[in-house]
Amino acid sequence: SRQNAAAEAVAEPTSDSSPITKFEELGTRDVVHKNVVSTLTREMGLETMTDVQSRTINEAIKGAGRIAQARTGTGKTLAFLLPILQRIINVDPDLARPSNSRRGPRTTADDIRALIVSPTRELAEQIAVEARRLVKNTGVIVQTAVGGTMKSQGLRNIQRDGCHILVGTP
């Protein structure tokens, strides 16, 4: 236990390594693109991260895997969506701009960069709604694949509009 604590202390960066607890700080420290931070703070009205968000977002953006368990309403969805979105933007910075200002080829159905699997249709739809709010000022497209009566409509939407983040059920 002491060795682990010592190793973690050595691994911590010394410059401005204090934990980020405010969404605005994600932008000022260049962790998250300014368009996304603007959406979070101005349009979604978020200021301070919840405990689960501050403990997961920073490390997940770096690519570290995280498992979190918390009560309903504690911000778990945003805690995993924000790192997914930022990692997509890191790979393709053009996606940080709204799609009407993007240059290049139109997004296609085979451009999926993230797959989110939910155990129920209802939860998949809730995740997709939150994801669409988050990507509003970017060129990232969110679609759902939940089966049932919406199966063919979801497929048509993906084929027509393309998809970067697909939220679905098994």
CA-wise closest residue to 164 among 97, 115, 102: 115
Q: Which structure tokens are listed for 145?
A: 């694949």
Instruction: Please tell me the distance from the alpha carbon of residue 104 to that of residue 158, in angstroms, as a whole number.
Output: 19
Mean pLDDT (the chain) is: 84
Q: What pLDDT, on the 0 to 100 scale, is given for residue 5?
A: 43
User: Taking the CB of residue 118, how many other CB atoms lie within 10 A of it?
Assistant: 18
More confident residue, 36 or 157: 36
Could you report the per-residue pLDDT of 139-162, keeping only the tens digit for each? 999 999 988 777 888 888 888 889
Instruction: Please tell me the distance from the alpha carbon of residue 22 to that of residue 127, in angstroms, as a whole number.
Output: 22
Q: Is 21 helix (H, G, I), strand (E, B) or coil?
A: coil
Q: What pLDDT, on the 0 to 100 scale, is given for residue 166?
A: 96
Residue 11: pLDDT band by 50, 70, 90 thresholds? very low
Write out the DSSP string of 95-160.
GGS-GGG--SSPP-TT---EEEE-SSHHHHHHHHHHHHHHTTTSS--EEEE--GGGHHHHHHHHHH
Could you report the per-residue pLDDT of 101-115, keeping only the tens digit for each? 444 446 777 789 999
Q: Is 49 helix (H, G, I), strand (E, B) or coil?
A: coil
On whether the CB atoms of residues 54 and 60 are closer than 8 A, the answer is: no
Q: Is 163 helix (H, G, I), strand (E, B) or coil?
A: coil
